[in-house]
Amino acid sequence: MSKIKLLYDVVSDLKNLAASIQTLAESMDSGNSNTIPSGTTTKTDNTNENKITLEQVRAALAEKSYDGFTKEVRELIEKYGGKRLSDINPSKYPNLLKDAEGLK
């Protein structure tokens, strides 16, 4: 891998991390602890299906990253088929969150 490509990947990862931290900070600023997922899902108004949003996954992974699991978070993202969180199919979010909760 060329050094330029490696640097580009690092910059991309930093941008994703910054976005995740911003989402976490906004959740904390709002004073609503329910916006940070703890393995729960939200129900939509129109259906009985549980849906997990990208923002919820991003906040959960940012929290894990903040707790010192940055490498493990990166590995989980790759495990579910992405170089970055936005590359992952939303149908895989529940399993990704479950794996992230297991990081201790």
Q: What is the pLDDT of residues 41-56, one digit of tens each?
A: 444 444 434 688 888 8
The better pLDDT of the pair 78, 11 is held by 78
pLDDT in tens, 13-45: 888 788 878 777 777 776 655 544 554 444 444
3-state secondary structure of 50: strand
Q: Is the pTM of this model over 0.85?
A: no
**In angstroms, what is the C-alpha Rg of the chain?**
14
CA dist 9 and 5 (Å) reads 6
Q: What is the number of alpha carbons within 13 Å of residue 59 lying toward its C-beta?
A: 19
